[in-house]
A and B are shown apart, each in its own frame.
Chain A
Amino acid sequence: MRAFALALLMAAPAFAAEEAPPGASTCLGCHSPVRADAAIPPLRGRDAAAVAAAMREFREGTRPATLMDRLARGFTEEESQAIAAWIVR
């Protein structure tokens, strides 16, 4: 338990939640980190590389979407990767 707490502390310095990369925190308007029954997929705990890859496919129009294609086009590959790394935590 203590080791777990220590690991968390080391992984998540104070203010990490507020140091979200540009755009990332506003994803939480739809992608709930807490709801278990959500239709819009929660992203916490997902693989960051897979989320970044999905963002790339949305951006390039190769992944079926209702809305994420329109949002993903607002971010570069680098920005998408930073968002993915933040949102899965």
Chain B
Amino acid sequence: MKATRRALAALLLPAPVFAQARPRVVVVGGGFGGATAARSLHRAGIATTLVEASATYTACPFSNAVIAGLRGMAAQRFGYDALRAEGITVVHQRATGVDATARRVTLVDGTTLPFDRALLSPGIEIRFDGLPGYDEAAAEVMPHAWQAGPQTELLAAQLRDMPDGGTVVMVVPPNPYRCPPGPYERASLIAHFLKSRKPRSKLLVLDAKDVFSKQRLFEAAWASLYPDTLEYVPLAMGGRVTEVDPKSRRVTTDFGTQDGAVVNVIPPQRAGAIAQLAGVADRSGWCPVDPASFESRLVPGVHVIGDAIIAGAMPKSAFAANAQARVAAAAMVALLAGRAVQAPKLLNTCYSLVAPEYGISVAGVYQPANGLLTDVSGAGGTSPLEAPAGVRAAEARYAEDWFATITADVFG
């Protein structure tokens, strides 16, 4: 039976449709984008190598619940065994270069991996030159927790250990950055933590913007759930932080200074390091791509997806990276087979928790127009401003369900 099944599997593997030998694609970055792309390419008959420095992936979605003590860190961790078992070559090394002319990726140990096309899913890196006073050492005192892992656990521990009666300060950056509604979900869940565990404490959110994702929904929820805990200061009210001092855990705004018992600084970001090394990032630090094929506008033959790209209306989210991975993989298969790339449509859905059992969402449908991904008019939008508790509970349940589905899809 096993042999039969294997024979059947062999039969079902994609037939050779490529004129020459089996094309090779190297995928760099094993997050929601890269791991999805590797699976899609492999399943389409491409010889696929996934390069990812870390043997364990730590997911950002739901990491705000870890920070607020609502969830264990183990639920955020995923490995690559299933990808390997499927036949994908997974290399746990850092990529140090992408040579699009010679068509090879170089790894930190000097190994080179040849490719016909490459796909980068670099995620973000923190710009330690982006906010005066905020360097790598400062991040150990004032964690960003914007890349899930030790930083998430550090911020969770600081909140857990802080004495009641203190002020937590959150510093929120200008656009663009990973996960547009993320800071506001985090503010909500930290406020929930303080209200239920350290009720004499306050949360001060200092924002470099006046307008943000799901704003009316967040602000309505804050007014009803956390009126005595959470204070939000937008740009117009002096919310922009211009400097931080880790020694005194002090932040400076246009209007004054503020000390925090815990300070969470979400700093400016740019595309992950390999994007800069490969030359696919422009002067903004992000990567311009063709919105149908996700091929770099700067380096032909190299495709880029996920948080690292300039995607127009499509946000930097795990859902978007997963969606872009599928579309980019299909485009790469078409290009490698000498076929035209079809005009795609892509979905995005982002859930946020403002409290346990209280979820809200934003959704969108996107298509290429004027060289970017743009909203399909009439579609998308946020959860209704007025809704019964049952709808909020359903969206919280769907948020959990989405996470279970996407992580099973990507890593399971």
Of the candidates B345, B378, B391, B412, the one whose C-beta lies within 8 Å of that of A66 is B391
Question: Do A25 and B402 touch (CB < 8 A)?
Answer: no
Q: Number of residues in B with C-beta < 8 Å to the partner?
A: 53
Query: Interface SS of chain A: helix, strand, loop or mixed?
Result: loop
Question: Do B8 and A79 touch (CB < 8 A)?
Answer: no
Closest beta carbon of chain A to B405's beta carbon, Å: 4
Question: Do A74 and B379 touch (CB < 8 A)?
Answer: yes
A37 to B15, CA, bound (A): 33
Residue of A13, A25, A40 with most chain B CB atoms under a 10 A cut-off? A25
Of the candidates A12, A18, A29, the one whose C-beta lies within 8 Å of that of B409 is A29
Closest beta carbon of chain B to A55's beta carbon, Å: 12
B395 on interface, CB distance cutoff 8 Å? yes
- The interface size bin for chain A is 35 or more
Question: Do B365 and A74 touch (CB < 8 A)?
Answer: yes
Closest to B326 in A: A25
8 Å CB interface, B325-355 against A: 326-327, 329-330, 333-334, 337, 342-347, 349
Closest to B15 in A: A14
B408 on interface, CB distance cutoff 8 Å? yes
Closest to A8 in B: B12
Of the candidates B11, B327, B345, B397, the one whose C-beta lies within 8 Å of that of A9 is B11
B404 on interface, CB distance cutoff 8 Å? yes
Chain A residues near B326 (CB-CB < 8 A): 20, 25-26, 28
B380 on interface, CB distance cutoff 8 Å? yes
Closest beta carbon of chain B to A63's beta carbon, Å: 15
Contact with A along B37-50 (1 / 0, CB 8 A): 00010011100000
Residue of A8, A17, A38, A66 with most chain B CB atoms under a 10 A cut-off? A66
A70 on interface, CB distance cutoff 8 Å? yes
B64 on interface, CB distance cutoff 8 Å? no
Task: Evaluate whether A29 and B402 lie within 8 angstroms (CB atoms) in the complex, with A5-B12, A66-B395 already known.
Answer: yes
Question: Do A19 and B376 touch (CB < 8 A)?
Answer: no
